């Protein structure tokens, strides 16, 4: 018999984001697509999938990018953390 285990932790921070200041949420137009007919899809498919947005033709290609440090609020930077354990028992 053998017992193996591990503990894993990862941490990421200091994310940078790029905002296009030339466009706003109002500059996007909603659209839908039709899901294919497929028995693996809910209801067999054929339904409309909406809630998708595309940039309006008037704003297409306009760019005024601002790259900056992402901050959730003024006092903290965003952090991503993940922890895990990996126990394993084997009988020989």
The pLDDT tens digits of the residues spanning 8-24 come to 888 777 778 899 999 99
On whether residue 92 sits in a domain, the answer given is no
In the predicted structure, residue 26 carries a pLDDT above the cut 60: yes
The whole-angstrom separation of Cα 36 and Cα 45 is 5
Q: Is the pTM of this model over 0.85?
A: no
Q: How many domains does the chain have?
A: 1
On whether residue 59 sits in a domain, the answer given is yes
- Confidence tier at 91 by pLDDT (50, 70, 90): confident
On whether residue 34 sits in a domain, the answer given is yes
Q: Domain range holding 75?
A: 17-79
Whether the CB-CB separation of 11 and 79 falls below 8 Å is answered with yes
Whether the CB-CB separation of 22 and 63 falls below 8 Å is answered with yes
Return the structure tokens found at 38: 């497929």
On whether residue 87 sits in a domain, the answer given is no
The whole-angstrom separation of Cα 69 and Cα 18 is 9
On whether residue 62 sits in a domain, the answer given is yes
């Amino acid at each position: 018999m053998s017992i193996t285990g591990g503990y894993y932790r990862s941490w990421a921070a200091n994310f940078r984001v790029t905002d296009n200041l030339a466009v706003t949420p109002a500059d996007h137009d909603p659209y839908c697509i039709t899901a294919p007919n497929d028995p693996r899809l809910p209801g067999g498919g054929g339904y409309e999938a909406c809630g998708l947005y595309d940039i309006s033709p008037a704003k297409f290609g306009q760019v005024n990018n601002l790259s900056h440090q992402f901050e959730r609020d003024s006092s903290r930077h965003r952090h991503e953390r993940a922890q895990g354990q990996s126990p394993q028992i084997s009988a020989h």
